[in-house]
Amino acid sequence: MKSAYSMRRVIVSYAVAMLLSSAMCAEESIPVDPITGEALAQSIPEAAAELRAADELLERARYADALVAYIALIEKYPESKESLLAFEGIQRADKAVTCDTTQVGSVVDELAVELPSLSQLSSSFARYNVCAFYFLRGNFLKKAGRPDEAKSWYVNCCEGVQESMRDALNSPYQMSFAGLYMAAAARVHWDRGRQGASDLADFAASLPACVSKWSSHYVLADYYLHEGANREMAERHLAAMLAPEQYAP
């Protein structure tokens, strides 16, 4: 059970992360109203047109094409209102594909060919969605009884996450990247995340002070408070989260 002391540290640390994200990552973050918490992103006519086209593809059950279109929109207009709506479209497409078991395999195979590589993307938001696909493809292959192929996609996910975390050290999406890394690493090693946690800690130690480093400690603290069941390690990462040299350049 988490102590009140540990929870206070988590809450304070999370507040620090939000402040850092807004102060250090303005070039890619979407402004949020401090009172309502609603996004203040502006609508862009060109993005709206692309969103309508992607939505039409989804309505016609052209799932792979729709997903590629949504990610392309996010890459081109990462700070727009439409990028948030595109992410909602990705979630709707994922749900539709999951429910339509006759199409899952073909959609996953199409996406493996049609999705852009990480090197073609500059938006962390778009990169996250591609890395998430690597993870989901691994899950599909595992369920299909192809564990060796699944493992290669989990490895791709881990490598893609680390590449993205290095390329955009102060992106506000790093918290999501670090969590995705742990989920994929747990499936690479099938050890409830132990090796992944060790590798993520080494990765964090190699980084300069930045949001990627802080986010890694955050995810590791959460891991050791739960699946890892190691209070000493959890406290160590919580302490690192509160140390300014971990995130303040």
pTM of the model: 0.79
Average pLDDT over residues 73-98: 90
User: What is the structure's pLDDT at 33?
Assistant: 47
CA-CA distance, 87 to 103, in Å (whole number)? 21
Q: What's the rounded mean pLDDT across residues 133-141? A: 91
Q: How far apart are CA 159 and CA 107, in angstroms?
A: 23
Q: How confident is the model at residue 203 (pLDDT cuts 50, 70, 90)?
A: very high
Please spell the DSSP secondary structure of 11-38, one letter per residue: HHHHHHHHHHHHHH-TTTSPPB-TTT--
* Cα–Cα distance, 114 to 26 (Å, whole number): 30
Q: In the prediction, which pLDDT does 19 show?
A: 40
45-68 per-position pLDDT tens digit: 999 999 999 999 999 999 999 999
Average confidence (pLDDT) over 136-156: 92
Mean pLDDT of 162-190: 92
